[in-house]
Amino acid sequence: MMNWKKVVLSVISIGTAACVCTACGLVPKKKNTATNGEDMVISIWRQGGTPVAGYENDENKPGYAELASTLKEELGVTLKYTTPTAGQEQQQFNLLLASRDLPDIVSFWWYDVPGGPQKAINDGYIYPMDESFLKENAPNFLQLLKENPVYEKGCKTDKGDYFIFPKFFDYKGEQAINLYTNGYMMREDWLQELGLEIPETIEDWHTVLTAFKEKKGAKAPLTGTQLTRGFEGAFGFRADFYHDDNVVKYGYYEDGYRDYLTTLNQWYNEGLLDKNIANMDSKMVNAQMLSGESGAFWGWLGSGMGTLMKAAPDEKYSLMGVPAPASDKGNKPEYNEVANPVYGSGAIINGKSKHPELAAKVLDFGYSQKGHMLANFGVEGEAYQMEDGYPKYTNKIMQNEEGLSMTDALTVYTGKIATTGAFREDYRYIQQYYNLPQQQEAQKAWMNGNGINHLMPTVSYTEEENSEKSKIMSEVKNYVEEMNMKFITGVEPLSNFDNFRAELKNLGIERAIELTQKAYDRYLTR
C-alpha cells in the first residue's frame, strides 16, 4: 500500500529538484562535443527569416552547405548558429543583451539598439575596430569602404571606430534600383482608357483621381497604408527628419505641412481619399485595388504590385508605378522616397569575443568576390549561369520544380553568413527578383527625383542626447500621428494648425531638431 505512494513521492521530489536546478542553471551544461580540437568554432546569433518547408535545417540547404565548406577550407572555421524564434527576435535580442553573454557574432538592428551603437561599444557589447585591424582581417570589407565613402561613414562611430558589418545596397546610377522599392501605383488601363497623362503635379493628381471617381465609379480612388508617404514632396518638405543642404528639418514642423493638410482635407471631403484611410492594412488595400474600388495606392513592389498582377481579374488589368508628385510641371520630385544605401542592420563582433580576428575574417568573406556571388546568386551552374558576364538565375530559382517560391528558393540556394548583414546586395538580384516589366518600369519612375540628396543617414547620438531625444520624440510621434489624421479627416479644423505648431514646440521639437543637427554635423566630419 505504501509502495505506490513512495513511488509518487520520489517522482515528484526528483521532478521538482530537476526543475529547480535547471531553472537556476545549477546543472552544468554539457560541453559541446562538436569541437574537435583542430577546428575553431565561431558562434553566430542572427535572424532566421521565414523558414522554408523541407529546409528548416541549415545543413539541408545547398547554399549554406557551400558556405560552410568554403569557410572550413579557407579559414578552418565551423559556424555555430543560434536562431531566435521568428516573430520574437526583438525580445530574444533584449534577453541576449541582458544575459551579457553574447556569441562571437550578432547580426541585428544594431543602429537602433537602445542608447545607440556608441553606448553598446562602451558597454562592451561591440568590438570596435580600427583601420589596421580591418586591413589585417577584413581587407575586402575595407576596400569596399574606401571605394564608397557613403558606406564608410555608415560603419563608423563619431569617434572614428568601425563597429559594424552591415548589409549594403548598390547605389550608383542605374544600379540604385535596390533603393526604390515602394511608391505610388495606379491602374494603367484606366489611365489609357480615359486618355489621361501620367500625373506629375498635385493638380494632375486631382484631375486623375476625380476622373477615376466619376468615370470609373471608384468609391475610394486613392488609398494606401501609409498615405502621407511621398506626397509631401510637392509641398516642399519630407516626412520625419531630413536635411536641406545639411540643415536638419522636421517635416511636420515646416510651413508646407499646412498646405499639404489643406489639400488632403479637400480631397477627403471630395471623396477622392479613402474614408477608411485611418485603419487600412495591406490586405484591404489589395482587395480594393482588385475590385476597382480604388485606382491608386501607396505600396511595395512585391507585396503590392507583384501580388496584384498575379491575382489580376482579367487581361486588361494593369498597374504602373507613378512618380511622386513634383511641385511644378517639369520639375523633378524633390523629396521622393528612397532607402539608405547602408541598411539598418548588420553583424557586429562581440566585444568579449575570444577570437575577434577570426570573426572578422568570417564576416569579411561575405564581401569577397566569392562570398558576394554566393550570398546573392548561390552556386554557379546550380542556382545561376554566367551569360555575357551577367549572373542569370536558373530555373531552380525562377521556376522551382519543387514548387518553392522565388523568395524561398533564394533562401535555400544562396549562402549568407547572416541574412541581415555582412554582404552587399547586388542590383542584378533585384533586377531579376522584380521581373515583371511593370515592376521594372515602376522602379525607373520612382528613381527619377532628388530624394537621395535629402536623406537622413544613420547618425549616432551620445547617451544623454539619445535619452533626451527619444523622450521628446515618443510624445511628438504619437501627437503628430493623431493630429495628422484629424486634420485630414476634418475632425480638427485647419484653423487650429497654429495651435498644433505651438504644441509641437511645447513638446520640445526644436530641441530634438537641434540634437539631430549636432549628430548630423558629426556624421559629416566622420
Partner 1 sequence: MNEAITADRGMRVAKKKKDRYIWRLVYDIKNHKMVYCMLLPVILYYLIFHYVPMYGAIIAFQNYNPADGILGSQWVGLANFIEFFGSRIFSRVLVNTLRISLTTLIFSFPAPIILALLLNELKNKIFTRTTQTITYLPHFISLVVICGMIKDFTTEDGIITQICALLGMAPQNMLNNPNLFVPIYVVSDIWQGIGWGSIVYLAALTGIDQSLYEAARIDGAGKFRQVWNITLPGIVPTIIVMLILRMGSLLSVGYEKIILLYNPLTYEVADVISSYVYRRGLEDFAWSFSTAVGLFNSVINGILIFGTNMISRKINNTSIW
Quick one: CA dihedral 416, 282, 170, 443, positive or negative? positive
Specify the DSSP class assigned to residue 251.
G
Q: How far is the CA of 146 from the CAs of 58, 135, 149, 154, 380, in angstroms?
A: 33, 11, 6, 12, 28
Q: Beta partners for 273?
A: 222
Phi-psi region of 90 (alpha: psi -120 to 50; beta: other; left: phi over 0): alpha
Q: How far is the C-alpha of 525 from the C-alpha of 272, rounded, in Å?
A: 46
Question: SS3 of 253, please?
Answer: helix
Site for partner 1 in 95-154 (CB under 8 A): 97-98, 100, 114-115, 120, 123-125
Site for partner 1 in 492-511 (CB under 8 A): 507
Considering only CA atoms, which of 335, 363, 336 is closest in space to residue 181? 336
The yes or no reply on residue 398 touching partner 1 (CB under 8 A) is: no
| Size of interface with partner 1, in residues (CB under 8 A) | 40
The yes or no reply on residue 489 touching partner 1 (CB under 8 A) is: yes
The yes or no reply on residue 20 touching partner 1 (CB under 8 A) is: yes
Query: In terms of CB distance, is 159 or 283 closer to partner 1?
Result: 283
By CB under 8 A, name the one of 7, 12, 311, 312 that touches partner 1: 12
Whether the CB-CB separation of 234 and 327 falls below 8 Å is answered with: yes
Q: How far is the C-alpha of 127 from the C-alpha of 139, rounded, in Å?
A: 17
Query: In terms of CB distance, is 220 or 447 closer to partner 1?
Result: 220
Query: In terms of CB distance, is 363 or 472 closer to partner 1?
Result: 472
| Segment near partner 1 (CB under 8 A); pick from 9-17, 45-53, 380-388, 443-451 | 9-17
By CB under 8 A, name the one of 88, 435, 478, 499 that touches partner 1: 478
Q: How far is the CB of 354 from partner 1 (least distance, A)?
A: 19
By CB under 8 A, name the one of 39, 131, 255, 481 that touches partner 1: 481
Q: How far is the C-alpha of 119 from the C-alpha of 124, rounded, in Å?
A: 9
The yes or no reply on residue 270 touching partner 1 (CB under 8 A) is: no
| Burial status of residue 19 (CB atoms within 10 A of its CB: 0-12, 13-18, 19 or more) | exposed
Between strands 182-187 and 296-300, the pairing is antiparallel
- Where are any strands of DSSP class E within 94-172? 105-108, 165-169
**Phi and psi torsions of 514, nearest 5°:** -60, -45
Site for partner 1 in 175-234 (CB under 8 A): none
The yes or no reply on residue 437 touching partner 1 (CB under 8 A) is: no
Whether the CB-CB separation of 469 and 512 falls below 8 Å is answered with: yes
Considering only CA atoms, which of 252, 441, 448 is closest in space to residue 334? 448
The yes or no reply on residue 15 touching partner 1 (CB under 8 A) is: yes
The yes or no reply on residue 157 touching partner 1 (CB under 8 A) is: no
Q: How far is the CB of 203 from partner 1 (least distance, A)?
A: 28
Query: In terms of CB distance, is 104 or 189 closer to partner 1?
Result: 104
Whether the CB-CB separation of 89 and 45 falls below 8 Å is answered with: no
| Segment near partner 1 (CB under 8 A); pick from 159-167, 301-309, 378-386, 485-493 | 485-493
By CB under 8 A, name the one of 56, 131, 482, 521 that touches partner 1: 482
Q: How far is the CB of 123 from partner 1 (least distance, A)?
A: 3
**Which residues contact partner 1 (rule: CB under 8 A)?**
5, 8-9, 12-13, 15-16, 19-20, 23-24, 90, 94, 97-98, 100, 114-115, 120, 123-125, 275-276, 278-279, 470-471, 474-475, 478, 481-486, 489, 491, 507
